[in-house]
Structure 1
């Protein structure tokens, strides 16, 4: 069952301004003809034009603000403006869900096409976000791999330098030990030769058995 479409003509709210009372001031008589026609604005309520809101204490074409200029016509204008804006919002809200249920076949197809396009757009956005996430993960993995490679290379260089330093320490220690051994052997041989010479010259050893 199709519900009747909501239109502005179904709920008329425009009241002729001629029936509204007018308050008279000392220097100026404010009439409803001085205000913009609310019926003309009501016929354009679906357009993008906006109805201006009037100030009850400062009506149009009046340059001096005074309380005596407050008239019911301005309040009527603002009330009609509120009703038109509420009707416009009601129409806009109900036009959204009216098409897929009570619209024509072309409107329903257009609605389904719009849904499909929205779903495709959401899928594309999700796919793009997933690709960006994977790309960021790949970059992070490459960065971590490079950091690990640099850390291993630095550790290897440190091990090589330590090995070279320990090898040089070992070689220098070996050289010092061999030099010490040669010095002690030379000293001992010199002392032996000296003792032999002394024994040869010593008259106590006449037989020469002590060598």
Structure 2
């Protein structure tokens, strides 16, 4: 018989806390990494409040897995909406209420420690806020340095762009000046050649007229004075 793929997992996966993921969680022998520059330190400082070390309960309760209301009872058959019954929904509802109660107790248990807890819990509360403040100061200093470096790069880019624009304007001015100078010199040379050609033409014309007057004078008898 062909079985259909599972619609929902047999149990809802539980989220792993930042302390358990980085080490040093409740019941764990793994040491927590020190320093504010590590990723785990940033996750611990900026994770959901309250952190594990300030709560009285943290993932100590075991919850039953979520059941699929449409899953048929054994022997398994084809999934059908007729298998949906009240006990499955009530099971999921109780599981949801238990998880909400645990989260509510975990969140509000941290507020009583700095006022009514033992000195060790009060010191842990103050130490947590000191670490968060140090992390925020370190992050702010890093952000300011990064912003300053970005502004320096922007200023250098702007100065370089301004220098390139000035150099381009100077080159364009030199190119225009050279073009106009060559244009002026060519016009002057052309005019000088035209004037020289006109002078030479006039000289040759006058010489021709004198030669003509010499060999073929107008007043042969010399009576005209």
TM range (shorter): 0.5 to 0.7
Distance in 2 (alpha carbons) for counterparts of 1:87 and 1:107:
23
Paired residues of 2:114 and 2:125 also in contact (CA < 8 A): yes
Distance 1:195 1:58, change over 3 A: closer
1:152 aligns with 2:166: yes
Deviation at 1:198, TM superposition (A): 2.1
1:49 aligns with 2:94: no
Distance 1:50 1:204, change over 3 A: same
Deviation at 1:139, TM superposition (A): 1.6
Distance 1:180 1:95, change over 3 A: same
TM-score of the two chains, using structure 1 as the length reference: 0.61
Deviation at 1:115, TM superposition (A): 0.2
Deviation at 1:205, TM superposition (A): 6.6
What secondary structure, in the 3-state scheme, does the structure 2 residue paired with 1:139 have?
helix
What secondary structure, in the 3-state scheme, does the structure 1 residue paired with 2:160 have?
helix
Distance 1:169 1:113, change over 3 A: same
Candidates 116, 119, 126, aligned match of 2:133: 119
Matching residue of 2:74:
63
TM-score of the two chains, using structure 2 as the length reference: 0.57
What secondary structure, in the 3-state scheme, does the structure 2 residue paired with 1:130 have?
helix
1:177 aligns with 2:184: no
Correspondences of 1:5-20 after superposition (within 5 Å): none
1:168 aligns with 2:182: yes
Q: 1:3-32: CA deviations, max 9, x gaps?
A: xxxxxxxxxxxxxxxxxxxxxxxxxxxxxx
Matching residue of 2:200:
186
Larger Rg: 1
Aligned residues: 160
Distance in 1 (alpha carbons) for counterparts of 2:218 and 2:100:
146
Where in structure 2 are there 5+ consecutive unaligned residues?
1-56, 77-81
Where in structure 1 are there 5+ consecutive unaligned residues?
1-43
Distance 1:101 1:191, change over 3 A: same
Distance 1:199 1:119, change over 3 A: same
